[in-house]
Amino acid sequence: MATTLVQGQGTRLGFYSTTCPNAESIVKSTVQSHFRSNPAIAPGLLRMHFHDCFVHGCDASILIDGPNTEKTAPPNRLIPGYNVIDDAKTQLEAACPGVVSCADILALAARDSVVLTSGRSWQVPTGRRDGRVSLASDTSNLPGFRESIDSQKKKFADFGLNTQDLVTLVGAHTIGTTACQLFSYRLYNFTANGPDPTIDSRFVSQLQALCPQNGSNGGRRVDLDTGSANRFDTTFFTNLRNGRGILESDQKLWTDASTRPIVQQFLGVRGLRALNFNVEFGRSMVKMGNIGVKTGTEGEIRRVCTAIN
């Protein structure tokens, strides 16, 4: 099904096999080089690709500089890794001028980031072209950290992604960090009785120590997957089961009856058909990577990823 969808959209495996045969290896080596000095670029590039695809499709519109572009919006402003894409593009332009799109670089870099954090690789169809429209206001379509599961499901369904895709792709939070200001409200006066009751009570005090009430460190970074933030694995789902999800929207994957069984399948709960997180993640990423792609005469191949030709 995924292959049919891919080819129907105009992307395909090995799109650059004759026009730029080293394209994928150039992207891979660039991501590896930056990762060695700054591991935060791995979750950054993964998030960047997701945020790109959910706004105007996977067309690298998130990379465009300028006032009021997607890159300037709060969800995108502090994502690490934009320089990695720029670096890869510079090298690709030297090797194959005007051939490889920024959208494809981002899709490949997201895959390479998972591999660098001990996740499994998958084949990335390529052939996307770059978009010309980038508006900060359009990022309101991105799922939010307080969002209900029903609302998240609708946003995913609008792009042809089902509930399993939702749980799988949110599982990308197995790597990376978030800021205190995006979840500290759960720790104090969430209800009349105090903290969010879905958080394990022993965990609350740990988080309060990191993010004091009315503290000045709202920008402090906290691991999204406690105890395994640098490794692409299923510990994120274990933490949800144990009431240790950091973002409210993440923890809801466990408390909501429609998504909990999928989390349990990733955890290998007896009586349910087990799902392999690494395998399913690759499948869901291929589906997501075909949202609204521009091919053929649509879009352009940007010579510099931060500027429209």
Do 149-286 and 22-142 fall under one CATH topology? no
Name the pLDDT band for 297 (thresholds 50, 70, 90).
confident
166-211 pLDDT, tens digit per residue, is 999 999 999 999 999 999 999 999 999 899 999 999 999 999 999 9
Name the pLDDT band for 3 (thresholds 50, 70, 90).
very low
H helix intervals, the chain: 2-9, 23-37, 41-53, 74-77, 82-95, 102-116, 149-157, 163-170, 201-210, 235-241, 248-255, 260-266, 277-288
User: Would the pLDDT of 7 be above 70?
Assistant: no
Name the pLDDT band for 233 (thresholds 50, 70, 90).
very high
User: What's the pLDDT at 6?
Assistant: 39
Mean pLDDT for the stretch of residues 42-67:
98
In whole angstroms, what is the distance from residue 289 CA to residue 53 CA?
7
The domain limits of the chain are 22-142, 149-286
User: Would the pLDDT of 100 be above 60?
Assistant: yes
What is the SS3 assignment for 222? strand
Cite the annotated binding site for heme b by residue number.
Answer: 173
Cite the annotated binding site for substrate by residue number.
Answer: 143
Q: Which residue has the higher pLDDT, 1 or 38?
A: 38
In whole angstroms, what is the distance from residue 151 CA to residue 130 CA?
29
Percent of the chain with pLDDT over 90: 93
| CATH number for region 22-142 | 1.10.520.10
Q: How high does pLDDT run on average in the chain? A: 95
119-157 pLDDT, tens digit per residue, is 999 999 999 999 999 999 999 999 999 999 999 999 999
Name the pLDDT band for 1 (thresholds 50, 70, 90).
very low
User: Would the pLDDT of 5 be above 60?
Assistant: no
Cite the annotated binding site by residue number.
Answer: 52, 55, 57, 59, 61, 70, 143, 173-174, 225, 233
**Residue 272: closest CA among 260, 254, 256, 255:** 260
In whole angstroms, what is the distance from residue 279 CA to residue 249 CA?
23
**In sequence order, which residues have a C-beta less than 8 Å from that of residue 118 and are 6 or more positions away?**
231, 232, 233
CATH fold of 149-286 reads Peroxidase; domain 2 (1.10.420)
Percent of the chain with pLDDT over 70: 97
User: Would the pLDDT of 74 be above 90?
Assistant: yes
Q: List residues with catalytic annotation.
A: 51
User: What's the pLDDT at 9?
Assistant: 60
Does pTM top 0.85 for this prediction?
Answer: yes
H/E element holding 291? Answer: none
Output phi, psi for 155, to 5 deg: -65, -40
